[in-house]
Amino acid sequence: MIVCVCNNISDREVRQAIDLGISSMDELRETLGVATVCGNCLSYAVEVLDEHLAAKANAQLNETVLKRPSLAN
């Protein structure tokens, strides 16, 4: 879905930028040009940013951690 019509930026591009290290709206503006023309996309861009950052954080918390068995003495 298109996030920013003025600059033709999709939600997929926003998510890819986040996966590459973008973590703020200022960085999205600077790197992709989101919300730099009319600004109508700002709320949706923030929504995509927040949702994807939360999903990434949650995925990291849910990673399986292998534990070594403890030996009973």
State pLDDT tens for residues 5-47.
999 999 999 999 999 999 999 999 999 999 999 999 999 999 9
Q: Does residue 39 fall inside a structural domain? A: yes
- Residue 51 within a domain: yes
Task: Give every CB contact of residue 14 below 8 A, 6+ residues apart in sequence.
Answer: 3, 28, 32, 34, 45, 48, 49, 52
Range of the domain at 22: 2-61
User: Cα separation of 69 and 71, whole Å?
Assistant: 6
pTM value?
0.78
CATH number at residue 34: 1.10.10.1100
For residue 7, tell me if it sits in a domain.
yes
pLDDT tens for residues 37-65?
999 999 999 999 999 999 988 776 655 55
Whole-Å CA distances, 9 to 2, 4, 32, 46, 49: 6, 5, 8, 13, 13
